[in-house]
Amino acid sequence: MRVVILGSGRGSNAAAILQAQLDGRLGLAQVVGIFADQPEAGILALGPRFGVPAGFVDPAPFKTKLEGPGEDRFIEAIQAAQADLVVLAGFMRVLKPRFLATFAGRIINLHPSLLPSFPGLDAIGQAFRRGVSISGCTVHYVTGEVDGGPILDQQAVRLEPGETLEQVAAKVHAAEHELLPAVIARLSRQALT
């Protein structure tokens, strides 16, 4: 299963996926490309480090959504990589219907809460401010509803009294780094059946 990772930031979840691949824990999946919508995104440095093609794809003209010429460029890059699965790992753009239709059933996203609780931005902060005792992360299929697609798997973390937001975020991120590669590995094995 050929995997492309899309990201906008430092790429810690992409690094977890690539390390899992290096360690033989990614099942039958192989990362064949990393694309970022920010030219200075840290995720791009992972390409040379792990021997995977990585590049900036111009998302213009919009700042928060992928539409128009930017959408065309991303679709072309993913199709050129012959991706079977598109993994959103900190990709901070809303995907529009044409992109979703092009890769229907083949786009997954990692969200830092136990959906359907705390969708959208700052999910860890939302959970922390609400004072929940359990939060975590979710991997789900991407649909037109933001953070509303079918859930593939979740991993819970317990929030302890007195923990800081930074401590909670670190626990959620550690869970993300375990969950996302495990889901990709499972999907790669299921693709054979």
pLDDT tens for each residue of 105-132: 999 999 999 999 999 999 999 999 999 9
Is the pLDDT at 192 greater than 80? The verdict is: no
pLDDT in the model for residue 162: 95
Over the chain, what is the mean pLDDT? 96
List, for residues 67-99, the tens digit of each pLDDT value: 999 999 999 999 999 999 999 999 999 999 999
Pick the CATH number of 2-190 from 3.40.50.2300, 3.40.50.300, 3.40.1190.20, 3.40.50.170: 3.40.50.170
pLDDT in the model for residue 191: 82
Q: Are 124 and 153 in contact (CB under 8 A)?
A: no
User: Reduced to 3 states, what is the DSSP secondary structure of residue 176?
Assistant: helix
Which percentage of the chain shows pLDDT scores above 90? 95
List, for residues 134-147, the tens digit of each pLDDT value: 999 999 999 999 89
Is the pLDDT at 174 greater than 90? The verdict is: yes
Q: Which 3-state string (H, E, C) describes 6-31?
A: EECCCCHHHHHHHHHHHCCCCCCCEE
Which percentage of the chain shows pLDDT scores above 70? 99
Q: Are 33 and 77 in contact (CB under 8 A)?
A: yes
Provide the annotated active-site residues: 111
DSSP state letters, 54-92: EEE---TT-SSEE-THHHHHHHHHHHHTT-SEEEESS--
pLDDT in the model for residue 61: 87
Say how many CA atoms lie within 13 Å of 54 toward its Cβ: 26
Residue spans per domain, the chain: 2-190
What sign does the CA torsion over 122, 125, 130, 133 have? positive
